[in-house]
Amino acid sequence: MCRHCLGQILGSDHNLLVAEICTRLKKIVSFEKGNSRWDLEKFYTQQQRVQHTLEEKLGAIGCDSGNVDVQWNNINKCVLDILRDLVGKFEKSARKPWITQDMISKIGERRKWKNVNTEENRTNNRRLRNELKRATNNVKKEYLENIRNKIIKLEEQGVMI
């Protein structure tokens, strides 16, 4: 049955349109700073110092209050303060060894301009994307060249890889 006949059957003078549409849902990833982890390597190297400081502070607090919640909050605060002072949080590092801190800051700046839909923001995003791509390609090329040179040097020395 043609569209014209179908339109007459339905009692409409509009031209009916049939289309296949493929849609993709965009995955929205939030890059908010999540729960950062304690630096466990630093903790293990300073374990004796952390333990000694913790015992001193907990001994100074004492268990005077009969309220369990107050005691727990005091202990929790004491432990977190000591860990914050002596151990610190684990700093996130780049996944690839050739990514620099400058690139990470450019990525963050570009991310701010990415989803705003005005002409000025699109040009800023395009400019930042091009800068980032150029910087990334150059640094990656240098990194791979250094690895290649190391491999060649090791082969010349007769070291099996």
Q: Choose one of 69, 91, 113: the last residue of a domain.
A: 91
CA distances from 15 to 1, 5, 7, 18, 67 (A): 14, 10, 7, 10, 77
* Confidence tier at 11 by pLDDT (50, 70, 90): low
* Confidence tier at 147 by pLDDT (50, 70, 90): very high
| Residue 12, in any domain of the structure | no
Does residue 7 register a pLDDT over 70? no
Q: Which residue has the higher pLDDT, 24 or 52?
A: 52
For the chain, the first-to-last Cα distance in angstroms comes to 70
Does residue 27 register a pLDDT over 60? yes
Q: Which domain holds residue 158?
A: 94-161
Does residue 74 register a pLDDT over 70? yes
Shared domain for 141 and 115, answered yes or no, is: yes
Average pLDDT over the chain reads: 80
* Confidence tier at 110 by pLDDT (50, 70, 90): confident
CA distances from 56 to 42, 50, 67, 111, 118 (A): 20, 10, 22, 46, 58
Shared domain for 84 and 100, answered yes or no, is: no
Shared domain for 77 and 61, answered yes or no, is: yes
The stretch 86-96 carries a mean pLDDT of 76
Shared domain for 111 and 135, answered yes or no, is: yes
* Confidence tier at 16 by pLDDT (50, 70, 90): low
| Residue 140, in any domain of the structure | yes
| Residue 120, in any domain of the structure | yes
Q: Choose one of 46, 67, 91: the last residue of a domain.
A: 91
| Residue 27, in any domain of the structure | no
CA dist 59 and 51 (Å) reads: 12
The stretch 49-77 carries a mean pLDDT of 82
pLDDT score of 141? 93
| Residue 24, in any domain of the structure | no
Count of structural domains within the chain = 2
The stretch 80-97 carries a mean pLDDT of 80
| Residue 53, in any domain of the structure | yes
Shared domain for 49 and 70, answered yes or no, is: yes
CA dist 161 and 149 (Å) reads: 13
Shared domain for 79 and 100, answered yes or no, is: no
